[in-house]
Amino acid sequence: MEDRPPNECLGIENADLNRYLNRASATNTPLSASFELTRRCNFRCVHCYLGDQQALQQHRQQELDTDTIIKLLDQMVEAGTLFLTLTGGDPMLRPDFIRIYEHAVRSGLLVSVYCNGSLITEKIAAAFTTYPPRIVEITLYGATQKTFETITQRPDSYTACIQGISLLRQAGVRLRLKTMAITLNYQELPAMRSMAKEMGLQFRHDCSIIPALPNEDNSGRTNSSNDIRRTDVKENFLQETLRFRLSPEQAALIDVGADDVKKILQDLTKQNDDITKISEKSSRKIYHCGAGRVSYHITPYGKIQPCIITLQPSVDCVTGSQDFVLCWKKLHEEFAQQKVTKDFACNTCEDNRLCTGCPSGFVLEKGSPEDVPSFYCKYAACRRKKSSDS
C-alpha cells in the first residue's frame, strides 16, 4: 500500500525522481523493493489481508534466515535497487530486525519501515537514530483504546502502539501515522488526524480493503493456485475482510474531508481526461504501474514477485545458486508485458486517475485481473463528484 511518491522525506524534487524512474524503466532496473521480513504479527486485525495468523505462525521455520537476507540485500543493491521498504506482518517480531535494518542502510539503501508500533524498543529507536530511515510508518487503528483493540483483537495493543510512537518521537525519528479506514473506525478519523497533528506528524488514510491473500500461508483455507474461479471466490471466506469495507460514498466523503487528499483529487479531476485517453486508450497492457518494471516484492520465504498482492509470477531467488538479476529478468519478462484478452474497461476509463483499483486486487476479489469489481468504479465516480461539488 505504497500510495505516496517515495520522495517526501528526502528533499528530492519530483522532477528528479521522475528522471530516476524513467531511467529505471528504460533500462529495466529494479529500483524499488518491498521486503516482508515475516508475515507473523502480534496483532490479529479483523481486516488483515495476510489472513490466518495461526497458520502464519507455523511458517516461522520457512522464513529466510539472517545470513540469507543479508546476502539477498547485497544482490539487490548490486542490481540497482535504491529504495527499500521493510514490512510484515510486523518486521520487528524478528529478533534480527536491527541487524537486517542496519545492514540495509549501511549498504546505501534508502529504507522505509512499516510496522504496528507496538514492538518498538529503546534499542530499535537507537538504531534508527544512528542509521536514520527515510521514514517509519505506523498504523493507528483508532483514536480510542476501545476501537483500536476491537480491530486488533489484542488487549493493550493501543497502549503499546502509543508507547512505540512516543519512543520514536523522543529519538527524533522521521515518522508518519496512517490508518486503514474501515467500518469500525472511520468515525474516529478526524480524531486520529488531530492526534497526529498534535504530535507534529503527517497522517494519511486508505479506504481500499482487499480480500486476504490466497497464498501458501492460507493454503488450508482456499485453493492456493492463482487460478481462483469466480464462484469459489464469491463464497470464499478469504473475502470476509470485505465486510469491513466502507461504501464508495462513505470512502469518498472521507477522502474529501482530508484537505490534502481533496486538493489532489480536485487537481486530478481537472487534468484527468485527456491524459488518460491519450496514454491508455490504445494500450493492450493490463498493468500500468511500476510492478515488475521498476519495483518488486520479496516474500519472507525468498520468492520475488511483482508486488505484495500480485502473487504470480513468483520466482525463487534464494535456493541454490540463484542469480538475483536473472530472477528479476524472469519476473519482468513474465509479468510486465501481460496483455488484455478482451476489452478491459480500465484502459479507456475516464476516471482512471481517480481510481484506487488495481488488476491484482481484481484477481483477489473476482478471480481475473480484467474483471472489475463494481466497488472501485463507484468509488472513483463518487470521488469525482464529491471533489467537484466541494
Q: Which residues bind ligand SF4 (CB under 6 A)?
A: 41, 43-45, 48, 50, 88-90, 116, 345-346, 349, 351-352, 355, 357, 372, 376-377, 380
Q: Could you tell me the smallest distance in angstroms from the CB atom of residue 322 to ligand SF4? A: 28
Q: Could you tell me the smallest distance in angstroms from the CB atom of residue 15 to ligand SF4? A: 26
- What is the grid cell recorded at 118? 507496538
Nearer to ligand SF4, 313 or 351 (CB): 351
Q: Could you tell me the smallest distance in angstroms from the CB atom of residue 45 to ligand SF4? A: 3
Nearer to ligand SF4, 89 or 214 (CB): 89
Nearer to ligand SF4, 74 or 350 (CB): 350
Q: Could you tell me the smallest distance in angstroms from the CB atom of residue 371 to ligand SF4? A: 10
Tell me the C-alpha to C-alpha distance, in Å, between residue 96 and each of 64, 69, 100, 278, 348: 11, 10, 6, 49, 47
Nearer to ligand SF4, 24 or 355 (CB): 355
Beta bridge pairs of residue 203? 177
Nearer to ligand SF4, 242 or 377 (CB): 377
Nearer to ligand SF4, 41 or 104 (CB): 41
Q: Could you tell me the smallest distance in angstroms from the CB atom of residue 65 to ligand SF4? A: 21
Q: Could you tell me the smallest distance in angstroms from the CB atom of residue 381 to ligand SF4? A: 7
- Between CA 127 and CA 96 the distance in angstroms is 12
